[in-house]
Amino acid sequence: MKRITSMTARIIATAALRQSWTILSVATRIQSQGERLEAWANRVAVRRGFVDDMLHTVTADILNSH
């Protein structure tokens, strides 16, 4: 009986670990997509003159440091 319990616990732990890796992978993808969108928005704002060059330089440095 104890062997079945430890085997069941191992199966549950393996499934939970796989699920957490899947969630982490999706979160990483979403974060990098958000960073790309932020960089694109910054470039568009600079091209259209919504931000000055100094703010653009600081923002670009911050985005590139990640």
- Check residue 62 and give its pLDDT: 78
Q: Which positions of the chain have pLDDT values less than 70? A: 1-2, 4, 66
- Check residue 50 and give its pLDDT: 75
Question: Nearest Cα to 42, choosing from 31, 29, 50, 32?
Answer: 50
**What is the average pLDDT score of the chain?**
82
- Check residue 2 and give its pLDDT: 63
- Check residue 1 and give its pLDDT: 54
For 33, 49, 53, the CA distances from 37, given in Å and listed in that order, are 6, 18, 19
Domain ranges of the chain: 2-64
- Spatial distance between the Cα atoms of 11 and 52, rounded to a whole number of angstroms: 56
- Check residue 58 and give its pLDDT: 76
Structure-block tokens of residue 42? 């910054």
- Spatial distance between the Cα atoms of 24 and 30, rounded to a whole number of angstroms: 10
